[in-house]
Amino acid sequence: MKKIIALLVALVVSAPAFAVNLKPFDGPTPPLKLQGLDGKTHDLNDDRGKVVLVQFWATYCGPCRKEMPSMNKLLKSFEGKPFDILAVDMGETKEEVQAFVNEVKPEFTILLNPEGDAIAAWNAFAVPANFLIDKTGKIRYTLFGGTDWAAPEIAQTITELINE
């Protein structure tokens, strides 16, 4: 009995700080065409053939700040493979976002949506709101809240989508 309790305790202690809870999604995928922090216009349609993580985030969001290093790791782990990350800032100014980027240093594409139209179209009324898009451009999974993007379960799901 003691061994079982010790095993349970060990399992709980070794559990990741963030729960990974990608939720299968079956619904429409709105268009996403926005200007990036780099000044270029990015269109999700141009990413057909890639698996894309679309994240809606904001500089005032604590979990967003915390998880961005793991998003950098995730992107790096799929280097050379058809995977990308588009992070849509929720309605803040370019200056606010740039200051955050200078500090936190995300290595993926940052998009701006000052008017909030994409936020409404994607029903992203919580932050961070995450969408995993398959190679055909369809939302396949969603996730609300911060997570450890370097977790093996996420890499496995992305790999499965890449291999479809």
By the rule CB under 8 A, 129 interacts with another protein? yes
Residue of 74, 110, 127, 158 that binds another protein (CB under 8 A): 127
Interface segment toward another protein; rule CB under 8 A; list 58-66, 81-89, 104-112, 149-157: 58-66
By the rule CB under 8 A, 144 interacts with another protein? yes
By the rule CB under 8 A, 149 interacts with another protein? no
One-letter-per-residue 3-state SS of the chain? CHHHHHHHHHHHHHCCCCCCCCEECCCCCCCCEEEECCCCEEEHHHHCCCEEEEEEECCCCHHHHHHHHHHHHHHHHCCCCCEEEEEEECCCCHHHHHHHHHHHCCCCEEEECCCCHHHHHCCCCCCCEEEEECCCCCEEEEEECCCCCCCHHHHHHHHHHHHC
Interface segment toward another protein; rule CB under 8 A; list 2-10, 67-75, 98-106, 126-134: 126-134
Residues that bind another protein (CB under 8 A): 23, 25, 27, 56, 58, 60-61, 90-91, 116, 119-120, 122-127, 129-131, 139, 142-144
